[in-house]
Amino acid sequence: MRRVIVGLLIVGVALAGVLGLMQIARGQGQGPPGGSTVVQREIEGENVRQVLAPFGVEEPSIGPVEAATPYCFQPDPGLDACVINWASIHVEGTPASMGVMTATIDSIGVVARYHGFFQETMHVSHAMNGGGFQVPCGPPGAGGRAQLGHGYDWIIRAEDTHGTVSTSSGAIYCPPFTP
C-alpha cells in the first residue's frame, strides 16, 4: 500500500512539474522578470507582443518585435519533417543599441541567436535562418486541430543595451504527416 501511495505521489509531482513548464513555455502565468514592468502589451488570439522596461521607465527605448508571417511547411510529403521559419523579424531601439535577439521554439529551445553591434535596428529575413528550423510534422490532430499536425509555441525576445526587453510570441501549426 505504501508503494502505491509513494508511486502516485511521484507521478503527481512529475505531472505538476510538466504542466508548470508548459505554462512557462506558453508565456502564461509568468510575470515580467524581477526589476521590470510591462509598459506595452498587445494580444491577438494566441499571439502576444509586449515590452518590458526596468521599473521607473515610462518610455521604453525599444519597440515591439515584429515577427511577420511565421510559417510551417513540409518540404517532402514522404517524411515526418516540417520546417518552421518567419518571413522576417524586426525590432528597433532608440536611443539604445540592440544587444541580442533570440528565437525559441518550445519543444526545442533556443533555435537562433542574433547579436547587435552599435545598431539601433535589428532585421532578420527568412534567408538568414538557413532553411528554417526542422520539427516533426506529426499525424493529423497531433496539435489539437483535426486537419493539422503538431502545434508549436514560439517566442522572439530582443533586449537593448539599456536592459529593456521586447517579446513577441505565438503558436504555429504544421501540416500533418500522412504516410
- The answer, yes or no, to whether residue 144 has pLDDT greater than 60, is yes
Of 9-18, 29-38, 146-155, give the lowest mean pLDDT range. Answer: 9-18
pLDDT digits (tens, 9 = 90+) for 83-123: 999 999 999 887 778 889 999 999 899 999 999 888 888 99
CA distances from 48 to 42, 140, 148, 157, 170 (A): 6, 26, 22, 12, 6
Instruction: For residue 107, give the 3-state DSSP assignment.
Output: coil
Q: How confident is the model at residue 11 (pLDDT cuts 50, 70, 90)?
A: low
- Residue among 95, 114, 111 nearest 158 (CA): 114
Q: State percent of the chain over pLDDT 90.
A: 48
Task: Read off the pTM.
Answer: 0.72
82, 120, 126, 119: which is closest to 103 by C-alpha? 126
Residue 93's pLDDT is 81
Tell me the three cell numbers of residue 142. Answer: 497531433
Quick check: bond before 95 cis, omega within 30?
yes
Mean pLDDT, the chain, rounded, equals 82
Chain position carrying cell 509586449: 50
Q: What is the pLDDT of residue 38?
A: 82
Residue type, 118: F
21: confidence class by pLDDT, cuts 50, 70, 90: very low
Distance CA 56, CA 35 (A): 10
